[in-house]
Chains A and B, each alone.
Chain A
Amino acid sequence: QFLTELTRLFQKCRTSGSVFITLKKYDGRTKPVPRKGHVESFEPADNKCLLRATDGKRKISTVVSSKEVNKFQMAYSNLLRANMDGLKKKDKKSKNKKSKATQ
């Protein structure tokens, strides 16, 4: 599902550009808030968040709830860390080995 797509997104962008990820709390609203006093009888759910990812061209998104968050987080953290590895490594002694970004 979402995680596979996210992996693919990261892989695709390795050579080109940016990956944007957005995290936002979600209250389960599917209809816009009505202007007149017509109150919608829906239950605002407080335990979900919305996660989006895009590479500028394609957009993917998913809703994460408290039930899924544990499993999702583990996979998601690994994904983030595995993919954001193009950054400089700070070493005290920089040997003459040039750190090549392996693609």
Chain B
Amino acid sequence: MPHYQAWEEFTRAAEKLYLADPMKVRVVLKYRHSDGNLCIKVTDDVACLLYRTDQAQDVKKIEKFHSQLMRLMVAKESRSAAMETD
């Protein structure tokens, strides 16, 4: 279970993992206020990628990445729905 130190590497590996099998991959985000840190994990039940941080600047990156994955997951639907802004 590799712990990633470089955010870039983590996102690249995580996205690759997700695109390989979108149905199996899940993303877990764990926040501990008492410890003051944030941990994000991406796994397909075979491989597992982990990234931990205690830096405020990473929160934005992690949250953006999380949103990206969310978008990927809902993106398969007919394009017209995604194009329309209601």
Chain A interfacial positions (CB closer than 8 Å to B): 10, 13-27, 45-49, 51, 64-67, 69-70, 73, 76-77, 80-81, 83-90, 101
Chain A facing B: main interface SS: mixed
Contact yes or no, A69 B71, CB < 8 A: yes
Tell me the smallest distance from the CB of A87 to a CB of chain B, in Å. 4
Closest chain-A Cβ to B59's Cβ sits at a distance in Å of 5
Q: Provide the residues of chain A in CB contact with B64, threshold 8 Å.
A: 77
Bound Cα distance A64, B25 (Å): 16
- Proximity string of chain B (37-81) to chain A, C-beta cutoff 8 Å, 1 when within and 0 when not: 110000000000000011111111001101101110111110001
Q: A18-B32, A21-B29, A86-B36 are known contacts. Are A27 and B23 too (CB-CB below 8 A)?
A: yes
Contact B69 A66 (CB under 8 A): no
* Interchain Cβ contacts under 8 Å between A and B, 13 examples: A16-B34, A17-B34, A18-B32, A19-B30, A20-B30, A23-B69, A25-B73, A48-B73, A64-B74, A76-B67, A87-B54, A87-B59, A90-B57
Which residues from A are CB-within-8-Å of B20?
none
Majority secondary structure, B binding face: mixed
| B39 and chain A: residue at smallest CB distance | A18
Check B58 against A20 for contact (C-beta < 8 Å).
no
Contact B81 A66 (CB under 8 A): yes
Closest residue of chain B to A63 (Cβ to Cβ) is: B74
